[in-house]
Amino acid sequence: MDYEKNQTLTVEITDMTSEGEGVGKKDGFPFFVKDTIIGDKAEIRVTRVKKSYAYGRLEKVLTPSPFRVEPKCTFHRQCGGCQIQSMSYEKQLEFKQAKVRNNLIRIGGFASEKIDKIMEPIVGMEEPFYYRNKAQYPVGTNREGEPITGFYAGRTHSIVANTQCYLGTNENKEILEIILAYMKENKVSAYDETTGKGLIRHVLIRKGFCSGEIMVCLVVNLKGKQRELPAQQKLLDRLLTIPNMTSVSLNINTERTNVILGQEIRLIWGKETIQDTIHVCDADNNFERTGRGITHAIYENGGSGQRLYLSQLPGRGPGGPARPGRPAVPPAFRRGGGRPHLHPPGPDGGLYHGDVQRRRLPGGHVRQRHPLRGQVRL
């Protein structure tokens, strides 16, 4: 049967791609449908037809999957970051474990028998929200010319205006709304990618879950002799009302580029660094759980009876997850430079002291991890 664009069909979703799109077949012909999950019976509208497959847009869920739940975020379909939020967390874990397994076999070239023998069950989170200790928000304008911030819609540079992302910390919403109010009141412009004009490009926020310390960095298009923001003190006064605010800085990026950060960082209030503790180990080699999120589960569940220590690889700073707080990563496969690494205790018992210092300003001769880029500066 031939299918045409804008044709309406009913399909049952029987599989999902590694990107989280549902897959359903009509008379043996596959359709890829975003925002559907396994078990859905859905009405779709055909958007693109290829020789051996087609794409469809979800119009209506006719019969919901037993794994479908009410998404916490009302923007989950527009935003490009939570493709499977309408799927139960337990089913999400199954999906992610299968994705890792399939990639190791298909891309890594490992035998399925070997993977099934050594791969351990996936480790989830007690609370699969509010876990990201870092977030970066693009700033733009809406049709009325008012400043907005949020996240890019999937595969676009169109901002979905939303200050409440449930993956980030609770303070993010208040910080973003303070910055937007400051911009409106003081007529501070948002950066326009098309013209290269405008001042505020991005807002980057970090929080130490154990220490509570908060860092805010505004990426700005400051040019010429301009050294600070208009009415900068007014912005600082409002940001400092947030408990545990520790560091506020500007990152200067005047390039016409999609790269978020520029090379120069100016501290405008507070300390150059924030500190947090991932895990600590006492003299008897007993670990104390001090924070929250999957990071701690990674250290506690190294796999195969091995304890998980930070790798100290040549030329690298202290280890730790490259993206702390990212959920549902089978710990036995988290290896490599700067990431948790499985190895037995050393002669000293492998004691690990977990204070991680995040460098705000570039330069210096001490190995430290840059808080925004995650790279090591020597």
pLDDT tens per residue, range 95-105? 999 999 999 99
Lowest mean pLDDT: which of 2-16, 158-172, 358-372?
A: 358-372
The whole-number average pLDDT for the span 17-46 is: 96
Rounded CA-CA distance 221/203 in Å is 12
Backbone angles phi, psi at 55, to 5 degrees: -115, 145
Confidence category of residue 295, pLDDT binned at 50, 70, 90 = low
Four-residue CA torsion sign, 164, 153, 135, 267: negative
Burial 86-97 (b: 16+ CB within 10 A, else e): bbebebbbebbb
Confidence category of residue 25, pLDDT binned at 50, 70, 90 = very high
The pLDDT, as a whole number, for residue 73 is 94
Name the burial class of residue 19, with classes exposed (0-12), middle (13-18) and buried (19+) by CB atoms within 10 angstroms of its CB. Answer: exposed
The pLDDT, as a whole number, for residue 299 is 62
Residues in Cβ contact with 235 at an 8 Å cutoff, skipping those fewer than 6 apart:
178, 179, 182, 229
- Taking alpha carbons only, the member of 230, 220, 80 closest to residue 150 is 80
For residue 49, is pLDDT > 90? yes
8 A C-beta contact, residue 107 and residue 76: no
8 A C-beta contact, residue 48 and residue 5: yes
Any bridge partners for residue 376, and if so which? 369
Confidence category of residue 259, pLDDT binned at 50, 70, 90 = very high
The pLDDT, as a whole number, for residue 280 is 58
Number of H helices, E strands in the chain: 5, 20
Comparing 181 with 340, the larger pLDDT belongs to 181
- The pairing of strands 29-34 and 54-63 is parallel
The pLDDT, as a whole number, for residue 154 is 82
Please state, in angstroms and as integers, the Cα–Cα distance from residue 289 to each residue in 17, 122, 165, 293, 334, following that order. Answer: 36, 20, 26, 11, 20
The pLDDT, as a whole number, for residue 279 is 63
Share of the chain above pLDDT 90, in %: 65
The pLDDT, as a whole number, for residue 333 is 34
The pLDDT, as a whole number, for residue 276 is 87
- Taking alpha carbons only, the member of 149, 177, 175 closest to residue 162 is 149
Confidence category of residue 356, pLDDT binned at 50, 70, 90 = very low
Q: What is the pLDDT of residues 268-289, one digit of tens each?
A: 999 999 998 876 555 454 444 4
The whole-number average pLDDT for the span 156-185 is: 96
Residues in Cβ contact with 370 at an 8 Å cutoff, skipping those fewer than 6 apart:
358, 359, 362, 376, 377
For residue 297, is pLDDT > 70? no
Share of the chain above pLDDT 70, in %: 74
- Taking alpha carbons only, the member of 232, 231, 203 closest to residue 216 is 203
The pLDDT, as a whole number, for residue 293 is 63
For residue 190, is pLDDT > 60? yes
Rounded CA-CA distance 153/244 in Å is 31
The whole-number average pLDDT for the span 202-227 is: 94
For residue 334, is pLDDT > 70? no
The pLDDT, as a whole number, for residue 296 is 65
Indicate the pTM of the whole model: 0.77
The pLDDT, as a whole number, for residue 281 is 55
For residue 115, is pLDDT > 50? yes
The structural domains of the chain, ordered by start, are 8-63 (2.40.50.140), 134-274 (2.40.50.1070)
Angle, helices 171-185 vs 232-239, to 10°: value is: 160
Mean pLDDT of the chain: 80
Comparing 337 with 49, the larger pLDDT belongs to 49
